[in-house]
């Protein structure tokens, strides 16, 4: 990966310069590695995995990104950010979920089931219940004869578990780990958390390279987040 070119591309997508950790995570993903990422809220973890997928050098990697979160509200937020990003590059966008041209970004939740088979979008934003039911070959709202379709879609994807520390450790988390390990030769995975208190055994259980923001990177990300919030408040008052 050409780091200088990637930094410039990252800035063109997000309108801000990448943190060092975002570039390092991209390097791991381009190497085909699985990543356990720990970074504070507001540090840009989502962009650390979305921007590599946008870049043209991703051609030989998984053709689909499935980004899962614990709550619909969080999924909607990431969905809107991804839509804004792909719109800059003329990618097809279909917010109604009924267009004849497959959109680049879709969302699949119980409230907005625009991609029930995880196959319309290149980037699918979803929730844990939708993803895990697919891994278990029992996706919601599909007939029994179609129950294996979503598992096949997940098998060949880059699968992102954001805020995975919120999963019940003896239920959803074990299901996710077992499912991804079953398809470990076919897919990549990224596990992201805002806390550094996840157990040390998690890294070996997931088969990942663990990446933690350094103290300086955490400080830089925190100050950037505060600056963004101040700018937002000023814009609102204006």
pTM: 0.84
Extended beta strands in 9-163, E state? 35-38, 65-69, 105-108, 123-127, 158-162
Task: Please give the C-alpha separations between residue 96 and each of 108, 117, 145, 161, in angstroms, as whole numbers.
Answer: 12, 16, 27, 25
Give the domains, in start order, of the chain with CATH numbers.
3-232 (3.40.50.300)
Helix (H) / strand (E) containing 189: strand 188-193
In the numeric block, which tokens belong to residue 188? 């990549």
- Chain position carrying tokens 């921007």: 51
Cα dihedral 122, 123, 124, 128 sign: positive
Whole-number pLDDT of residue 6: 95
Cβ atoms of residues 61 and 26 within 8 Å: no
Per-residue model confidence as pLDDT tens digits over 170-198: 889 989 999 888 888 888 999 998 865 55
Per-residue model confidence as pLDDT tens digits over 75-124: 999 999 999 888 887 777 765 545 556 789 999 999 999 999 999 999 99
């Amino acid at each position: 990966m050409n780091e200088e070119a990637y930094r410039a591309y990252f800035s063109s997508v997000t309108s801000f310069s990448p943190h060092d950790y975002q570039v390092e995570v991209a390097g791991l993903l381009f190497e085909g590695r699985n990543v356990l990422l720990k970074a504070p809220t507001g540090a840009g973890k989502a962009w650390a995995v979305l921007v590599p997928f946008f870049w043209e050098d991703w051609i030989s990697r998984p053709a689909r990104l499935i980004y899962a979160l614990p709550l619909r509200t969080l999924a909607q937020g990431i969905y809107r950010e991804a839509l804004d990003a792909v719109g800059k590059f003329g990618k097809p966008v279909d917010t109604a979920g009924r267009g004849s041209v497959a959109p680049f970004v879709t969302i699949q939740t119980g409230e907005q089931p625009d991609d029930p088979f995880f196959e319309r979008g290149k980037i699918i934003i979803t929730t844990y219940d939708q993803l895990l039911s697919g891994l278990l070959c029992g996706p919601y709202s599909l007939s029994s004869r179609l129950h294996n379709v979503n598992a096949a879609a997940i098998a060949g994807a880059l699968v992102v578990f954001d805020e995975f520390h919120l999963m019940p450790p003896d239920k959803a988390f074990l299901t996710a780990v077992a499912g991804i390990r079953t398809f470990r030769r076919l897919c990549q995975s990224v596990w992201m958390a805002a806390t550094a208190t996840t157990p040390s055994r998690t890294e070996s259980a997931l088969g990942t390279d663990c990446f933690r923001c350094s103290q300086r990177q955490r400080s830089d990300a925190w100050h950037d987040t505060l600056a963004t919030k101040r700018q937002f408040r000023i814009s609102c008052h204006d």
